[in-house]
A = this chain, B = another copy of it.
Amino acid sequence: MSAQDRLQAVKQHLTPDQERANAVDPVASMNEERAKAAFNIRELTHLLDGGEKATELRERMMQEIERDPLFKMHDIHDISKEELRERTMEKFRSLIHHLQNESVDTFKKRMEVISLIDPGFWTRFGVHYGLFVGALQSNASPGQLSYWFEKGALSLTGMVGCFAMTELGHGSNVPGLETTATFDEASDQFIIHTPTLTATKWWIGGAAHSATHAAVFAQLIVKGKRYGTKCFVVPLRDPKTYNLLPGVNIGDIGKKMGRDGIDNGWIQFTSVRIPRGYMLQKHTKVSRSGTVVEPKLQQLTYGALLQGRVAMVVDSGNVSKKALSIAVRYAAVRRQFANSKSNGIETKLLDYPIHQRRLMPLLAQAFAMHFTGTEMTAMYNSMMSRLDGASPGDPDMEEIVEMLKETHSTSAGLKAFCTWNCLNTIEQCRQACGGHGYSAYTGLAGMYNDFAVQCTWEGDNTILALQSGRYLISSYREAMKGKKLSPGVGYLNNLNGLIGKRCQVQKLEDLLRPEVLIEGWQVVCANVVKNAALEFEECLKNGLDVDDAYEQCSQSRLYAARLHTYGYLFNRFADGVSKIDSDLKNILMKVCMLYGLYTVEENSGAFLQYEYFTPKQMEFIRSQVNVHCKLVRDQAIPLVDSFNLSDFMINSPLGRKDGNVYAHYFDQVKRSNPQGEHPYFNRLIKPMLERDMDGGDIEDEEAGLEEEEDEE
């Protein structure tokens, strides 16, 4: 018996009155949607998670965290910043326990689940283990690394670290940092100093109330000569008392848009002395006598930096899934406006074509980001394992450098556009919940505030997108010189075949094949990259230097990066779906086509500009977006169910799996706001209501003044 048959069977046993009551009951509405599943939901969960075992592990993690009293989340919207920060610190210890006792893979899964539940805590923990320990690993010599690990950097005994790179006046431009580290040969020490207000270390996570040590990025100065920005470990506080050490001044950065669990601070150093050995000397070395030895090759140190970006692509997919779980489930039970034939029963939001238009393309996009994030992670891991095994003289070094460049550029573009897409998804989901989206308890407002930082940290999105655009221009120029490019930009080796090409389909229906859209993206991207490169070369001809020329054509670079990244997302999604050999392929192909058609429509200006599609074809694509929205809408609840996020993780009454949204929402609001004494009736309201009315007006009495009548 199919799900549809079961649904029909159930319906046949209802009286008209029961049917009507059932129809407005949100739980019945949700069950009705779930019964429509045309695929095996559990199987799709396994596919998304990367196998049955991975699903089981994730479910174990969800359960463990839900049961941990430290991770209670139901009151998170009503506690103060101070309470939130203290609670966040409490979780630290419990996580160390797991870190020490479980496998790396298990712990990674735990952190992935936590990042979706409590991003503020995830950041605070990540500051020590990701940024501080990461800085040690990237910059310390083997002996130095052992020293800091023995001091407790891994076990969090005797020290907690933070990462002090950004300054009040300096963010993206690391070589422009002002903090100085001057070698004092007499004492064999470095003097760490903040010379100006703008050199104040700023936004330093963990500095306000957690860290004993900082990895400080400062200008190395030896015998009056500057050697650029290096990394130094600087003790900040006495671990026994948490008193600030001499010359260290630290303050709290205070209230932020979100992630208030993390205690960002500012730091000023006033001639703080540290031993010479506290400069991390894996690359540049400073000897006892002040001889500076710089590395022969600029090391390929930025591989590790890419990890954060790749993680943010994956996170963009995950957070989108969470937001969509709320908005799509709410839309399946929320009813609004009855029509003439509905017997007074209001229509589900999800049945409105316009609501399908609002949510279904975003649902498809979440899948696109999922498939791309998975692929990007594999690409990063494979690149890193080759990089780790390689040494400068290796014959395949050139290939590895190409891989690194491609991963660098692709992850830059994806980080930018995926975090933007996710932030937009959250806001669209919030608005799709109508007025209730404005309540803190429905979860989307806080999600927006927590996520927003991803668009500016670890590389401002605009700057990253421009980097990606720069790579596209240089790839184009290399292709023109006959170089074979790496796969992601391989289409630029086929410029003659692509420039000027038009869509060749016989019938409009043939547009609904992924390969047509993939070719379309290649044609459009080849054109915009070529235009950007020609603009760049024109700038060079006009006498600009390379950097100025790139600045001058930055809008074209950004546009090229945008289109290339969208094309890439579709390409990876389509490729991922093509490899599936189960029944799931059917539904995922619909989702994939919706994504493809929608992104073409969104960028119709480019497809028409380069005449790949005719206006008539574009009109057909526009209408097919509607058709595909409806197809995906039909399976919308099974699709978000496949994300398999527990009610605890989603933490929104509107996103509850059972569909009983109003009861859960009312409960949450009552529990969070217990009725009590009026806080200020006697002080403020009563005197206002009972005031003497004359008191409010300016008296218009003459107050003894004798005045003559005005003459007329």
- B-facing mask of A283-311, CB < 8 A → 1, else 0? 00000000000000000000000000000
How close is A101's CB to chain B, nearest CB, in angstroms? 5
Residue A545 CB within 8 A of the other chain: yes
Contact B449 A254 (CB under 8 A): no
* Residue from B78, B82, B159, B625 in contact with A254 in the complex, judged by beta carbons closer than 8 Å: B78
Give residues of chain A (655-712) contacting chain B, Cβ–Cβ below 8 Å: 662-663, 665-666, 669-670, 672-673, 675, 678-681, 684-691, 693, 696-698
* Residue from B77, B251, B256, B689 in contact with A156 in the complex, judged by beta carbons closer than 8 Å: B689
Q: How many copies does the complex hold?
A: 2
Contact A159 B92 (CB under 8 A): no
Smallest CB-CB separation from A695: which chain B residue?
Answer: B97
Contact B253 A554 (CB under 8 A): no
Q: Give CA–CA (A109, B361) in the complex, Å.
A: 44
Smallest CB-CB separation from A83: which chain B residue?
Answer: B679
15 additional A-B pairs beyond A209-B679, A255-B672, beta carbons within 8 Å, are A78-B254, A86-B679, A89-B680, A90-B684, A93-B688, A96-B696, A158-B689, A176-B346, A203-B435, A252-B673, A255-B439, A257-B448, A354-B466, A354-B555, A431-B460
Smallest CB-CB separation from A102: which chain B residue?
Answer: B698
Smallest CB-CB separation from A86: which chain B residue?
Answer: B680
- Provide the residues of chain B in CB contact with A158, threshold 8 Å: 689-690
- B-facing mask of A452-476, CB < 8 A → 1, else 0? 1101110011100010000000000
Q: List 22 A-B contacts (CB under 8 A).
A: A77-B254, A78-B255, A92-B688, A170-B336, A197-B666, A202-B435, A209-B680, A209-B681, A239-B689, A242-B678, A251-B673, A252-B669, A254-B672, A255-B672, A256-B438, A258-B438, A340-B545, A431-B462, A434-B456, A555-B626, A604-B604, A604-B609
Given the known A-B contacts A254-B672, A256-B445, are A547 and B456 also in contact in the complex, defined by CB atoms under 8 Å?
A: no
- Report the interface size class on chain A: 35 or more
- Provide the residues of chain B in CB contact with A663, threshold 8 Å: 197
Residue A210 CB within 8 A of the other chain: yes
Smallest CB-CB separation from A465: which chain B residue?
Answer: B354
Give residues of chain A (320-354) contacting chain B, Cβ–Cβ below 8 Å: 334-341, 346, 352-354
Contact A253 B669 (CB under 8 A): yes
Contact A339 B176 (CB under 8 A): no
- Provide the residues of chain B in CB contact with A82, threshold 8 Å: 679
Contact A339 B696 (CB under 8 A): no
Residue A440 CB within 8 A of the other chain: yes
- Provide the residues of chain B in CB contact with A457, threshold 8 Å: 435
Q: Give CA–CA (A255, B75) in the complex, Å.
A: 11
